[in-house]
Chains A and B, each alone.
Chain A
């Protein structure tokens, strides 16, 4: 049972470089999410996709773009990485955005920007 798979697991970038974080789920969920986790701040929502073909901003969208490639895949892109984007990034999915069910999380991508 793969669930939510994120690649890569670790990445080091230089300031100004670009990168795409990949996420795929095999649970046939409609909704997918990208969070970042910083010490002492919990998880903050960057972007979400309620369903295939739609994306919306979350709490901290600046500096990021997303693509819902198909129902399974939701990618997060950093066009010009900044040290403030050093964080652990989590992708999650759920059947819909409105039903009260838990979100399923991937194991994260640990991103360092020098």
Chain B
């Protein structure tokens, strides 16, 4: 069965330090992976996706993510955190199943708190 795990409910980091938000997945076929961010009282905003190719994916607002097939992980990273990065982050996976609708499975979310 498809699943996504975000093992940390909350990540705390000081402004200017690097940040990592973890995500692991389980799919039966090839994974299509996404990261979304949610600010308070707003909908989800797309950050980046992995479909195929380079394992390091660059996205919006200076974020990047590293796809690791052997560890079935897709961790979100940023070299230098900003207070404005504080938000709720969701990892999602879509299974590569031929034909039909491929459902998007979301993780439970990780709250990122960046402290001045």
Q: Which residues of B contact A107 (CB under 8 A)?
A: 41-43
Is B69 among interface residues, defined by CB-CB distance under 8 A?
no
Q: Which residues of B contact A92 (CB under 8 A)?
A: 43-44
Decide if A90 touches B102 in the complex (CB within 8 Å): no
Q: Which of A41, A97, A103, A105 contacts B101 (CB 8 A)?
A: A97
Q: Which residues of A contact B49 (CB under 8 A)?
A: 100, 102
CA distance A103 to B46 in the complex (A): 8
Known contacts A98-B101, A98-B102, A107-B43, A42 near B107 by CB under 8 Å: yes
Q: Which residues of A contact B101 (CB under 8 A)?
A: 48, 50, 56, 97-98
Known: A40-B109, A98-B101; 14 extra A-B contacts, CB below 8 A, are A4-B43, A40-B108, A42-B90, A42-B108, A90-B43, A97-B101, A97-B102, A100-B32, A100-B49, A104-B46, A105-B44, A105-B45, A106-B43, A107-B42
